[in-house]
Chains A and B, each alone.
Chain A
Amino acid sequence: MTQAVFTVVAGIPDAGLDNLRGVLDEIRADPPENKWLPFAHFDRVHFASLMLAEGLGPSLLILELNADGTAADCLAVLVAEAGPGLDALFAGSEGWPGSTGAAAARSWLEDRIVRPGAYHIGATGRTHERIRQEARLHDEIQRFLDAEEVAGGITGASPASVRSLVQDFVRGDPSLAWARTSPPRQTASERMGHRARLYGAIAAAVLLLPVLVPIVAVGAVVLRMKERTDKVQDGPPDPDHVRRLQDEEDFAAQNHLASVIPVKPGLVRKVLLRTVLLAVNLIARVSATNGRLGDIPSIHFAHWSMINDNRHLLFVSNFDGSWESYLGDFIDKAATGLTAVWSNTVEFPRTRFLAFDGAADGPRFRAWARAKQCSTRAWYTAYPGSTMATIDNNTSIREGLFATLDEKGTAEWLARL
């Protein structure tokens, strides 16, 4: 199942900024049904956001989309169904042809697609429709069980017979016919493809060892020299900035985080960052396919891209729970990986050998992350009441509903409800 994780990045001249801010405010006021980009009407979109990155040269409007299907198809839908909205967003931007000429508009947008250097999808292979269906299945089964309990249907019943009751209930409801089968989350060819790319990269690295070893050795020395003198953030983030960020947080089960950070100057840093992102991506495609990124279960869609001519690192994440718990999870469980990526951006806490210390310094990493966090102007979630855990649980309920299960499997399946 193809899913697209990408951004569209467009330069916005100063003259157009005020107007644009007004449009963004209107979208923020009602992301599902606003008059510009009513995201609820684009069924393929899981999460979307709009950021305005200012103060780094020409201002950039960043439209983040996480959708089923390809990026091109997603943009085609927007052009077809939200032309005036796109006009309002991109009118000031150089060369925007206007939405009435659909092909030209699509082409303009596609030219500005930035694909991720590394990305993560929590609910691998599950379309928006499937997530919605499986949530409904969960709710229907719960309602059924509650009614059965009151009617005495659970009294003295064995696990197998309770499951049987649920199966009969689902069979008896034509609107749940789709639940009688269960497609795989990832096809075999998708899995093999990702594995092949990872092993291919490892094989290439092994073959190139004689060339790589001296490069890495020299690189390590240069890196250590830089690390000792790199500027780190001095002091806590601006309280007003943090307050403004917090005012947008903690309304749904999920939150959004975005940052656009200058990469440290010099070729070494750019090369390191590209390489680390490549490595993270190759590994994640193979090892992070059942919800968790490492030991962190709470990310729906997240990605890193280098934008603005590789001068800035963009990070966007749609995750469960609070900012505080998300960062705490990263500090406690994934500091090394994060440090390897972010130590290449400015003012990151003191790091050794690319991946050590850095984010492990909880207080300073949190201060840096807040200072560098960019205001999310507007944010849309297709399922504000679902977490990764509930999405995965619902899929497992559907998968186990008609599967052949032994006694232990039946008990585990029932414990999901």
Chain B
Amino acid sequence: MQGLVSRAYGQLPCARYLLCSVADPAAARTWLGQVAPGVSTAADRDEGCALLVAFTYAGLAALGLDDESLATLPRPLHEGMVTAHRSRILGDTGPSDPSGWRWGGPANPAIHLLVVIYAPDEAELERELGERRKAFAGALAEVGPPIDGLLNGGTEHFGFADGLSQPVIKGWPRRTASVRPAAPPPPTKWEEVNPGEILLGYPDNYEKPAEGPTVAGRGDARSLLPVAPWAPGRRHLGHNGSFLVFRQLAQDVPAFRRFTGAASQASAVRGTPLSAEKVGAKMIGRWPSGAALAVSPDADPGEAGTNDFGYHDDDQAGFKCPAGAHVRRSNPRDSSSESADKALVSSKNHRVLRRGRPYGLPLVDPPTKPGEEAGADRGLLFLCLNSDFERQFEFVQHTWLDNGFFAGLCGEVDPVVGPQPAGGGILTVPDAPVRRRFTGVERFVTTVGGAYFFLPGIRALRYLASLDG
């Protein structure tokens, strides 16, 4: 399997994301054959740089995959991230409408491949980039804008620690499953999922094999691919692969700070004001340090602390962590039904493995270099892996984050990332004697690019390299 499945390359803070099209299919296949042995795998330990290769549906077709095999790819990958229904359910409306995207939208060139280079520093990145570009010249053409990801010590641009809670594949030693360099605690019931939730070919949470694309057995003369048990006569192109979601999300940090400041001021009327930091924490569900509100409801303890907590027993009503807070929407844990155990089992059927990183420089006031100004372009390169787009990524986005009726709320979407209405949305913070309600929640996050990809395993890369035209 490719390395991104088991690590986020926390030790390689620089990354360049190349969106490419196939310029010459035969040359592209040759390049793939040369590159496949060097694509970073999960087994690799310390490497200078790391490389990842993923394909859109159009990319697999351009490479020469036959129609019968293409038909075994999941419908969301075939349709792509941009359809009327999908944009509706992913919140890609208004300012996030795909017609305005920088890449991946109907007004942008078709994307066939995503090639990502991870490097320990800028100099290494440029060097590696130069070599890779020489190698794929003529085979691939870069069709997207330059996209650079830069880890910022595990903090995203609104100022909050990110990547703290990830599903952990049952049976795997818990490696650096997040970008944070802290020592990983042992996996808990909150995090464990079956391998097939992320990796195709393995049993998913329903104990059924996560089915990926297959190819005709007779087409795999060298038996590069394992047999697909659910499809007699066919071989599993998806073995050790996964499906990758990539969305570029621009973050309006000044607007976020304006809102938390204004809300803090409004809260003073009760005599017990919430600081701007606390308003932000109530929106996210964690403090800037990463500590969960459900564990530390009153003040930031200064460090992330445990990820071993639920909502059901102590906080079903959301007085500690509001029910609509971002981390609670992204992972409701045991809160979604009257039985805590059943709720946890159910919510674990919708986990995704996040592998994104920020782009752009953090806002610094006053700025010390270009890119730090308030109006500069910054945000999150959201990447995640799952085996079922609809049950996992799309479900989280549609049924949890962007759902105005999540957890019994009435017309409130995710306060941090949600597609707020034009006049501003509502944020309810449970409190005594009665709730605090803030209006004017703006759309702080805008989608500016996105696509769905197939991330093949190493054997599948070799198979694709061996296709005839």
Contacts and interface: CB of A to CB of B under 8 A. Distances in A.
A149 B273 CA distance: 13
28 contacts: A145-B437, A149-B436, A154-B434, A239-B75, A243-B79, A247-B84, A249-B85, A250-B85, A250-B88, A253-B405, A321-B399, A322-B398, A324-B391, A325-B399, A360-B206, A362-B208, A362-B349, A362-B391, A363-B206, A363-B208, A363-B211, A364-B208, A385-B411, A387-B408, A390-B405, A393-B410, A411-B432, A415-B435
Contacts of A157: 433
**A interface bracket (residues with beta carbon within 8 Å of B):** 35 or more
Given A152-B269, A253-B404, A332-B346, A322 B434 contact: no
B186 to A, nearest CB: 27
B394 interface: yes
Interface in A299-340: 320-322, 324-325, 328-329, 331-333
Contact of B432 (A159, A247, A364): A159
Given A324-B395, A325-B399, A242 B75 contact: yes
Given A247-B85, A325-B398, 9 more contacts: A145-B434, A154-B433, A239-B79, A247-B84, A295-B339, A321-B403, A324-B391, A364-B208, A385-B411
Interface in A326-384: 328-329, 331-333, 360-364
A414 B85 CA distance: 38
B133 interface: no
A156 B342 contact: no
B99 to A, nearest CB: 18
Contacts of A239: 75, 78-79
B337 interface: yes
A181 B159 CA distance: 50
A249 B266 CA distance: 39
A246 B89 CA distance: 10
Contacts, number: 117
A250 B398 contact: yes
Interface in B57-78: 75, 78
Given A158-B433, A390-B405, A411-B432, A361 B206 contact: yes
Contacts of A320: 405
Interface in B423-469: 430, 432-437, 439
Contacts of B317: 415
A142 interface: yes
Interface residues of B, number: 45
Contacts of B23: none
A385 to B, nearest CB: 7
B408 A390 contact: yes
A393 B346 contact: no
Contacts of B79: 239, 243
Nearest to A415: B317
B374 interface: no
Nearest 3 pairs of A and B residues by beta carbon: A389-B408, A159-B433, A246-B85
Interface string B292-329: 00000000000000000000000001000000000000
B395 A325 contact: yes
Contact of A333 (B342, B350, B394): B342
Nearest to B75: A239
B97 interface: no
A295 B337 contact: yes
Interface in B321-354: 337-339, 342, 345-346, 349-350
Contacts of A415: 317, 430, 435
Contacts of B88: 250-251
Interface string B344-375: 01100110000000000000000000000000
B75 A155 contact: no
A201 interface: no
A295 B391 contact: no
Contact of A162 (B266, B346, B408, B433): B433
A190 interface: no
B171 interface: no
A250 to B, nearest CB: 5
B185 interface: no
Nearest to A237: B75
Contacts of A155: 269-271
A146 interface: yes
A251 B84 CA distance: 11
Contacts of B345: 332
A166 to B, nearest CB: 9
Contacts of B411: 385
Given A155-B271, A390-B410, A333 B433 contact: no
B390 interface: yes
Contacts of A152: 269
A26 to B, nearest CB: 21
A212 interface: no
Given A295-B337, A390-B405, A362 B399 contact: no
A328 B342 CA distance: 13
A332 B342 CA distance: 8
A417 interface: yes
Interface in A228-244: 236, 239, 242-243
A149 B270 contact: yes
Contacts of B436: 149
A146 B391 CA distance: 38
Interface string A157-178: 1110110000000000000000
